[in-house]
Amino acid sequence: MTFRHFATLLCVLAAPLFGVVAPLRAETPLAAVPVPDVEAVTAAHAEFWRAYEKRDLWRVSLVWDTADDTISAAFPASSTISVSWSNIQESFRRSFSHNRDIKIDVRTLRTNREGDVAWVLSAVRFEAIQTQTGQFVLLDRMLTTEIYRLKDSAWRLVHYHGHYPGFRPQAEDPATMVAAPTRPAPTDSPAWQAHERFVAAFSAKDLGAMFGLLSSEKDGSAMQPMSPIPFLGPENVVASWKKTFADVEALTIEPLKVVVSESGSVAWITEHSQYHIAFKAQPDLVQHFHNVLTTYLLRKEAGQWQIVHYHAHLGFAFEDHEH
């Protein structure tokens, strides 16, 4: 009951890969959104997954902007966000060491470009043989967000977020939580300030304020931890939040680590938080969840920073997962 309620909450909020699962339901077709000049982005996206399938870390590194110490990643089976190439490459190294005979089938759901930044949303089928046991591994549908930035005439990956809805981490013992965490230092970035207002509105279950911070454009989207397909459009996202809040008595969000990046009219914020939630079914019982990993993608529209894409999941270390 504890995790089921939290999974419902995370569904609308919006490393190494293991697990054998049954196929998920078929995808709902996505509405086409015309995007100019994305051929080079598509090529970089395809090369990233070809290199991953070949377990070629050097080729993977060529896709990333490894010289930028603020590049970041939220991996499916990691308990925190990775920042800088030295940390990101270790997660890829672990994945490659644990898996062989990898087969990747990528379905691009949507590609968007805004100036020198582009983002690609995908559903990925992952097959492999587990190196240590020889077990066949099938993750039939991972959801991924990739953010690319144009640099020196080439599109380089600056952020990756992937998760698999089939993973079911359990609720946390309160003893494992960070007691009285130090809130990440605020910046004078208007994008950061928009993110802060959104977190505050979510904590207060203020749907009106949340809606006001979402992009009104049709390319808005959200990838949710327990859903195999994304929500599209602000009305759909907010309607789902409304349904979820009906079960929530109160909640508190405590950011532990936040990384803010901006380029022109686009910003992306990667956040590692812990949640404290009281559900209406048991209002006197506060349930605790840490390692909530979230990506916010914001775009400046009419002079205001609006959230155009949201991707969240409950991160965990692979060693803690029952498999």
pLDDT average, residue stretch 62-80: 94
**Is it the case that residue 93 has pLDDT exceeding 80?**
yes
**Is it the case that residue 289 has pLDDT exceeding 70?**
yes
Q: Are strands 154-163 and 72-74 parallel, antiparallel or unpaired?
A: parallel
Distance from the Cα of residue 262 to its chain's centroid? 17
pLDDT, tens digit, 9 for 90 and up, residues 239-276: 777 877 888 999 999 999 999 999 999 999 999 999 88
Across the chain, mean pLDDT equals 84
Q: What are the Cα distances from residue 142, in Å, to 139, 254, 286?
A: 7, 27, 30
- The count of C-alpha atoms lying within 13 angstroms of the C-alpha of 317, restricted to the half-sphere facing its C-beta, is 3
Q: Which residues are within 8 A (CB) of 147 and not within 5 positions of it... i.e. 6 or more apart?
A: 117, 118, 119, 157, 158, 159, 160, 268, 297
How does residue 192 score in pLDDT terms, banded at 50, 70 and 90?
very high
pLDDT in the model for residue 245: 87
pLDDT, tens digit, 9 for 90 and up, residues 133-172: 999 999 989 999 999 999 999 999 999 999 998 776 555 5
Q: How far apart are CA 46 and CA 53, in angstroms?
A: 11
pLDDT, tens digit, 9 for 90 and up, residues 17-29: 333 333 333 344 4
User: What percentage of the chain has pLDDT greater than the value 90?
Assistant: 61
How does residue 51 score in pLDDT terms, banded at 50, 70 and 90?
very high
More confident residue, 263 or 185: 263
pLDDT in the model for residue 308: 95
